[in-house]
Structure 1
């Protein structure tokens, strides 16, 4: 399913220099082969997929990019690709004129298509954008979308600069795996296969992961699942059992026991205390 909200005709209350023309999201969508030459700037964050890599032919060059990643589809860029995986993405589009201003501001990297770490701050801003798109016709929401999209551009820019200025190739591969795990907590995946696909032996992966992340891979996966469970308890109407099943916990008792050990309360107690009305 694709959600595509057109914002160009909506009235703005402030004169922000980087207005968004349209924005939207992709959820588990497949499409036939596409051959596109862009006239606008589309910033597309491809967050997750049932495959590890996306394959694009950018200006005739084959690019295989692991999820999650960002693609700056700039005016004049040609891309041939097939969406034959079940992917999730979020995107926002600027006019050609605004794209020129963004390039002049230095916010479009030389490498238009590259992996990205979904940090807590970036995840928060993407969540904010999704929330605003759900009520885009309301007063001043278009202005807020302009601001949050620009803040996403800034966050992407600074994280890309930090990664390139102090590049640790092994750490980068570990962070790619960590981002993949965060975006696929509800899916089955093999840590051994992930390690192998990123060039690690089982032994070296465990050593490098623990050095970079400060905890074992298994403990990290469990922590991420419990934090996702806490979010679902506070923000959704899913039952405790449904949340446990969606995050691949083997049974209700194990889920509740691990949750209580981490948060010092049961899932139901957590919901009662932190439920967002």
Structure 2
């Protein structure tokens, strides 16, 4: 299976996870391609994971070329139309990760980044974080937070125009309470950055920055702690099974809950229950 216009075979995608601000796709690429047209509505990053490519890009009448190796990244602005072709420069299986970012994450007044080749450790680490999130079936709130931070970095790294004045400081205590109450009320659901930012009338980009300024945590990390605290409380005070507690606290499985619980509390949910009851 391949995405329309892309001569590659889709290996996996985050589409089933309900992420809102970002979609990650992984492809196996052919060794040689004829020239093909590309145009996307998202801000797109392509990162090579295996293989070596000689990639050429034509915007207008002029071809540009670069050599890609594992870790190389290209960035395409939303709505940007060009022509691509490539040829393998080594007999190695060729695979790539495509990160499609919501263009609404680009701050008002900033230029959407565009670069045939970008060497940036932060971008590489962010794409890897999203790939790990796909492995873990992470919730939308985490993926959206990574996406917002990645876009902010790209706008700064690739080049931005002057940005319109935005709200400074942090969220008020009332706004933080409104967001936290929403988290508690929707604990079993896949809470998104879009939902939380709408509560206080901010863009996702600015909400992420102001929430962290107010609480010292990203929304994803804060929600994870809320879920785990509620899970610990339920383990101590109710006879619910670990699986039932996991689902009620927003985890997809008992295993996912147990892994997160162990990282936070240093023991399994079952051991925590026994310790809290003096068993």
TM-score by length of 1: 0.42
Larger radius of gyration: 2
